[in-house]
């Protein structure tokens, strides 16, 4: 028996990398899976490969999070598993390296 049978799993960032692998595992465990991503082509490709529902959504934008929640509620009525993939990157430009950092 599949452990996630009749469960709904939402995977943000499910169109690539760790999110894709998580979505794939949830499908194998019997869940109805919704993946999100910002890149339409990447989401569509993952949807075709995994047989899941895809929603284009940027989780760094609050209005899109609200829209995602509304769409999932309308289509599935519930969420049993929420797998959030979040990657942030901050670039800092220094005029000179800080004096207390060892650079090798």
Q: How far apart are CA 67 and CA 91, in angstroms?
A: 30
Q: Which of 15, 21, 62 is nearest to 37 (CA)?
A: 15
What residue has token string 């929603």? 55
* CATH topology classification for 8-84: Rossmann fold (3.40.50)
pLDDT in the model for residue 54:
97
Domain limits, the chain: 8-84
Residue 31's Cβ-count burial label (10 Å; 0-12, 13-18, 19+) is buried
pLDDT in the model for residue 97:
60
High-pLDDT (> 90) share of the chain, %: 71
Digit-coded pLDDT (tens) for 20-47: 999 999 999 999 999 999 999 999 999 9
Dihedral of the CA atoms 100, 102, 103, 104 (nearest 10)? 170
Q: How far apart are CA 104 and CA 6, in angstroms?
A: 53
Digit-coded pLDDT (tens) for 40-71: 999 999 999 999 999 999 888 889 999 999 99
Residues forming beta bridges with residue 11, ordered by sequence position: 35, 83
């Amino acid at each position: 028996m599949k452990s996630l049978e009749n469960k709904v799993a939402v995977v943000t960032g499910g169109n690539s990398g760790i999110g894709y692998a998580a979505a794939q595992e949830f499908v194998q465990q019997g869940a109805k899976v919704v993946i999100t991503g910002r890149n339409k082509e990447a989401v569509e490709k993952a949807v075709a490969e995994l047989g899941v529902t895809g929603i284009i959504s940027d989780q760094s934008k609050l209005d899109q999070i609200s829209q995602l929640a509304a769409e999932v509620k309308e289509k599935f009525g519930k969420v049993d598993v929420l797998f959030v993939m979040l990657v942030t990157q901050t670039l800092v430009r220094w005029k000179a390296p800080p004096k207390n950092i060892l650079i090798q």
